[in-house]
Amino acid sequence: MLDNSKYQKLIQYLKNLQRVAVAFSGGVDSVFLLKSAKEALGNRVLAVTVVSPYIPKWEIAEAKAITTTMNVEHIFIEVPVIEEIRFNPKDRCYLCKKNIFLMIKEVAKSRNIDYVLDGTNADDTKDYRPGMRALKELNIKSPLLENGFTKEEIRGFSRNLALETWDKPAYACLLSRIPYEQEINIEELERIEKSEVFLMNIGFKGVRVRSHSNLARIELRKADIPRFFNEDLMEKVSKELKSYGYRYVTLDIEGYKMGSLN
């Protein structure tokens, strides 16, 4: 049972900020946050989306479509793979988040916006998320976390608000598909993205393709694993992913695990 007073408390919290820039990925959390900010502040909301080699193009397209529907001003900032993360260090997420949010803060400053928001929620504190340290250092506000919203509640309120993302699977940037201490190159990011898009297009949602040099390790939701064990389908998947440059294609029989390369 959803507590509507909790949502109204969030709306009041956002009203008190007066003008905000929302770091907008198009995921479940940021869509709910943007929708709430739009309700609270009207046109005093700016959505800012990162465009980078490690962000899937389909996510950028979805984000753009959502802000168009919401009638929210939306800008995109180009972010390269910075030198500090070129070899995918263990604190990659911290370094990357700090770089990105410094850029978003500059955009906000240029628009006379005092507050930058992100969609971190209460459940995010249970996982290994070094990027949260960068948010604290830069005084980024996380309204969903500060108001105690869990992922389940966010999905529930999103459904009530008729947001199409209410049941969208969780995604993360493509760098999370590559083992730590391995050099990042654009070609590998592209083949990871192609592989995941192919698998999504044949019906596997929430999929991950973990890239281990010339080996692709597919993680599916456990409910989808039985369907994968079809000889024709496995051959089709193997052939397709090998056409992107992988030599070996495997299925992780334990299924999708958040942060399995942590």
Which tens digit of pLDDT belongs to each residue from 125-175? 776 677 788 999 999 999 999 999 999 999 999 999 999 999 999 888 999
- What CA–CA distance (Å, rounded) separates 215 from 136? 37
Closest CA to 27 of 47, 3, 2, 44: 47
Which tens digit of pLDDT belongs to each residue from 28-75? 999 999 999 999 999 999 999 999 999 999 999 999 999 999 999 999
Between vectors from CA 61 to CA 106 and to CA 212, what angle results, nearest 5°?
90
Which tens digit of pLDDT belongs to each residue from 173-186? 999 999 999 999 99
Which residue do the tokens 């190159």 mark? 185
Tokens of 51: 């465009």
Which residues, other chains included, contact 161 with Cβ-Cβ below 8 Å and sequence gap of 6+? 32, 35
Which residue do the tokens 């760098």 mark? 175
Tell me the whole-structure pTM to 2 decimals: 0.93
The class (CATH top level) of 4-167 is alpha beta
Give whole-number Cα distances, 243 to 56, 120, 188, 237, in Å: 19, 37, 13, 10
Q: Which CATH architecture has domain 185-251?
A: 2-Layer Sandwich (3.30)
Residues of the chain with CATH 3.30.70: 185-251
Residues of the chain with CATH 3.40.50.620: 4-167
